[in-house]
Amino acid sequence: MEETTLLFGGDFVITKDVKSNDILNNEIIQLFNDSDYNIINLEAPVTTSSRTIIKTWPNLKANKQSTANILNALNINTVTLANNHILDFDAKGVRDTLDFCTELEINAIGAGMNLAEASKTYYETINELKIAFVNFAENEWASAKNNVPGANPMNIVENTRQIKDAKSKADFVFVIVHGGHEYFKLPSPRMQNQYRFYAEQGADIVIGHHTHCISGFEFYNGIPIYYSLGNFLFTSKSS
């Protein structure tokens, strides 16, 4: 069987009008184009909505054309949407983002117009390997409910059921989690215990983001766990 390369990027938000060649060098573009499959976390809705939800921290909105240009330049196959910003511009923001991904022919996982949609496992066959992608986020302001759009929520019981079901149907299960303490460079004891538990339940790799910094890596019983990949590309200002 031929070698298969999958590339995962962390948090990705393009808030302003930029061209891909302004912020991506050729080595990065080549890295992504040499990979068999590419995934990043799209952490801002791509929407025309102006209706924001009430929350702490900013309501983020992506620039549609710039986001599309960079996703295409990097040959992104799938975006994860289970994050704390997907509901920033209410239901229309979620709907617009899903439609945007459909227009670009990019798979979107981890969010939906209700909990059933948001919690679907995504399956992809890559070089004869069937891979399951499970994506969920800690419960901040964006969690989907039965009749409310948003992100697939972190729920240890339901997440475990999803992982076990995926394990019975796929060669590999990739668990992608949005959570943790922002700007902490190591995971909390709770995070380490929980992510290791996901590995015990059948995850073949656990990949985290949300902290906006790299937050540690380990092999646990042979299973790689990345507690946070940090930001991949974020154009909004930050201290």
Q: For residue range 62-94, what is the model confidence (pLDDT) as tens digits?
A: 999 999 999 999 999 999 999 999 999 999 999
CA distance 210 to 80: 12
- Mean of per-residue pLDDT scores for the chain: 95
Interacting residues of 107 by C-beta distance below 8 A, sequence separation 6+: 77, 78, 79, 101, 122, 124
Q: What is the pLDDT of residues 87-140, one digit of tens each?
A: 999 999 999 999 999 999 999 999 999 999 999 999 999 999 999 999 999 999
CA distance 199 to 173: 10
Contact 70, 20 (CB under 8 A): yes
Res. 20 pLDDT band, cuts 50 70 90: confident
Q: Would strands 111-112 and 150-151 be described as parallel, antiparallel, or unpaired?
A: antiparallel
* Ranges of H-type helices in 50-168: 64-73, 90-104, 115-118, 156-167
Whether residue 52 has pLDDT greater than 80: yes
Read off the tokens for 232: 């991949």
**Entry pTM:** 0.96
User: What pLDDT sits at residue 18?
Assistant: 86
CA distance 43 to 31: 22
Whether residue 159 has pLDDT greater than 80: yes
CA distance 209 to 150: 18
With pLDDT > 70 as the criterion, what percentage of the chain qualifies? 99
Sign of CA dihedral 120, 115, 213, 15: positive
User: What pLDDT sits at residue 1?
Assistant: 60
Mean pLDDT within 149-165:
98
